[in-house]
Structure 1
Amino acid sequence: MKQLLPPLLFSSLLFSSLPALVVFPVYKTIFRQQLHNTPVHLAVAQLYKEGPVKLYRGVVPPLLMRTLNGTLLFGLQENLLHQLSLSSQNALSASARSALAGFGAGIVEAMVFTPFERVQNVLQNGQNDHHVPTMKSVLVRLRSEKLAIGFYRAFLPITARNALGSSLYFGLKGPVVAVLKGQGVPPMISSFISGAVTSMAISLALYPLSVLVANMQAQVGPREGKGVIACWRMLWTSRQRSVALLYRGGSLVILRSCITWGITNAIYESQQKPSG
């Protein structure tokens, strides 16, 4: 494992930042759909009206997250998997051990990255441009609040989303790769397709949690003190109790997931081989 972390670190630094920059306008379009319940063409028009200068407002937190996330998530999952393999012996299947290790890694990931996501969502909300115009002003504002409504706003739904998502991702990607290799697909392409397809399915399944997080974290002010249940009721009512409206922006998740997690998984699998 000690040999795995350095190449993963450098790969994350070199390759994770580029997809994050490329996909950020797509991510921001999805966020505006989640927040304002608008069709994609209206979200794009809104961003176009704000201009190219503001298009990348809020890019720093996700850029840092994507750079560090691969190293933390994959490295921690690998360590937990090693410990489970030693303790459980043959009691659990390989896929079950990977899923359980992914669940634990997802919890730690939520603890580390919730503040990043909070800052990112405040910056992406155009309604905050006047009273918190810069990242520094956002940090000052959130630091003045209690953790539960400041940096760790929406921590519970983020933990549920990340833990379940990581568990499913690590539990499913191995079997998918095995099926693809059995069909004669080259290893690198198998890894890319496995990461893209698996993350796409998981992102769509857990998309309502992402919408809830976006709506909870985007505001700074009197509304930010409401709890998870109250916020979910408000969100569900604002979407006219319609699943279709709740999933606005979900179609773009496919594009984002295919690019980011397909590349991430291909990099990870290629770095595993020398240490195996």
Structure 2
Amino acid sequence: MAAAPPTPLATATTATPGVTVKTEKRIAGTSEILVMYPLDVVKTRFQLQVGSGAGEEVYTSVLDCFKKIIKNEGFSRLYRGILPPILVEAPKRAIKFSANEQYSRILKSINGKDKMDQSLSIQAGIAAGCTEAVVIVPFELVKIRLQDKGNAGKYNGTFDAITKIVRHEGPLALFNGLEATVWRHATWNGGYFGSIFSIRKALPKADNKQQQLRNNFIAGAIGGTIGTMLNTPFDVVKTRIQNDSGTVKKYNWTIPAIKTVAQEEG
């Protein structure tokens, strides 16, 4: 027999926790961006830096980069371009997790399995990462353009950057670096999900909730580190491709771009 429809009170009661959880996740995601964004700016500056040497424009370390940005450009420059990641945070997370769930169901059905194993988790993670990449590319491109010191006088903000990019380079320019972004997300997810199962098995068995949290933290940290090590070359060329606004581009496709960087810069 079908269950009776919930009363308005029951609906409100059951809906509130879900809404609260979603709100908490959005707040947590935005807070993470606010805290970590200066490091993202520093990362971009290093990825765009070509060659080595000495001088005011060359960054020799993370701390040196922080000091020079604050000294020469002002503290606020560490947050230039933060709007695009904030705008895309909620849809990015929603698409990533819903896509992962959908791909997991499809893969379990195709392979005739009731539960996800390591191989299926890797496949679902890579597919979800590729789906997420398509959504975030325009936001990443605008963010990179605003983070680059060389574009300081070129764009007055997020919407000015979008307008000028579309006007001078065409609307498809917002998707420059799509291939590299797909590579970046696929390798990170593959490295993360490919290692996290093995790491969890290698850790001591958790006997309580605190030990389980410890194991999850350790496995996540190591898995994230492995994923980052694997995807960094793709992230570097993605940044180079997306920041190139010229008509004759030095970097076009991912693998040739990696070869060029390796040959010219080591």
Using the size of structure 2 for normalisation, the TM-score is 0.78
Aligned match of 1:197: 222
| Contact 2:144–2:243 (8 Å) recurs in 1 | yes
1:132 counterpart letter in structure 2:
Y
Provide Cα deviations, 1:203-255, integer angstroms capped at 9, x if missing partner: 1122111111111112323354752266445433442xx2xxxxxxxxxxxxx
Structure 1 residues 17, 199: closer, same or farther in 2, change over 3 A? same
Q: Provide runs of 4+ in structure 1 moved above 4 Å.
A: 5-8, 90-93, 223-226
2:150 counterpart letter in structure 1:
Q
Pair 1:43 & 2:69 matched: no
**Alpha-carbon deviation of 1:135?**
1.1
**Alpha-carbon deviation of 1:171?**
3.7
CA RMSD of the aligned region, Å?
A: 2.8
Provide Cα deviations, 1:172-192, integer angstroms capped at 9, x if missing partner: 334433443625562223222
**Alpha-carbon deviation of 1:107?**
1.3
How far apart, in 2, do the equivalents of 1:147 and 1:231 lie? Answer: 23
Query: Which sits farther off after the overlay, 164-173 or 23-32?
Result: 164-173
Pair 1:188 & 2:213 matched: yes
Pair 1:30 & 2:43 matched: yes
Provide Cα deviations, 1:135-176, integer angstroms capped at 9, x if missing partner: 11210122233455x111111111111122223323433443
2:100 counterpart letter in structure 1:
Q
**Alpha-carbon deviation of 1:7?**
7.0
2:261 counterpart letter in structure 1:
L
Aligned match of 2:262: 236
Pair 1:13 & 2:9 matched: no
| Contact 1:181–1:187 (8 Å) recurs in 2 | no
Identical positions, percent: 21
| Contact 1:110–1:158 (8 Å) recurs in 2 | yes
Provide Cα deviations, 1:1-23, integer angstroms capped at 9, x if missing partner: xx9x8676434302111111111
State how many pairs are aligned: 237
**Alpha-carbon deviation of 1:75?**
2.4
Aligned match of 2:232: 207
| Contact 1:8–1:71 (8 Å) recurs in 2 | no
Which of 116, 120, 124 lines up with 1:101 in the alignment? 124
SS state of the match for residue 30, structure 1? helix
Structure 2 stretches lacking a partner, 5+ long: 1-14, 51-58
SS state of the match for residue 131, structure 1? coil
How far apart, in 2, do the equivalents of 1:202 and 1:129 lie? Answer: 32
2:161 counterpart letter in structure 1:
V
| Contact 2:84–2:158 (8 Å) recurs in 1 | no
Structure 1 residues 90, 104: closer, same or farther in 2, change over 3 A? same
**Alpha-carbon deviation of 1:91?**
11
Structure 1 stretches lacking a partner, 5+ long: 243-276
| Contact 2:104–2:121 (8 Å) recurs in 1 | yes
